[in-house]
Amino acid sequence: MRRFLSREKTKADLAKYLADAVLKKNANSPKLVITSASGHTRSNCTLQFEENNHEEANTLMICLAAAESQRCPGARMVFFTPDTDVLVLAIAHL
Q: What tens digit of pLDDT does each residue of 29-86 get?
A: 988 888 888 778 888 887 777 777 777 777 777 787 778 778 878 777 777 777 777 7
Domain hosting 29: range is 2-93
Overall domain count for the chain: 1
Quick check: 36 and 52 in contact, CB under 8 A?
yes
Q: What tens digit of pLDDT does each residue of 2-24 get?
A: 777 677 778 888 888 998 999 99
Q: Which element (helix H / strand E) includes 35?
A: strand 34-37
pTM of the prediction?
0.67
What's the CA gap between 43 and 64, in Å, rounded?
11
Quick check: 61 and 73 in contact, CB under 8 A?
no
What's the CA gap between 40 and 74, in Å, rounded?
28
What's the CA gap between 14 and 49, in Å, rounded?
21
Q: Quick one: how far is CA 34 from the chain centroid?
A: 5
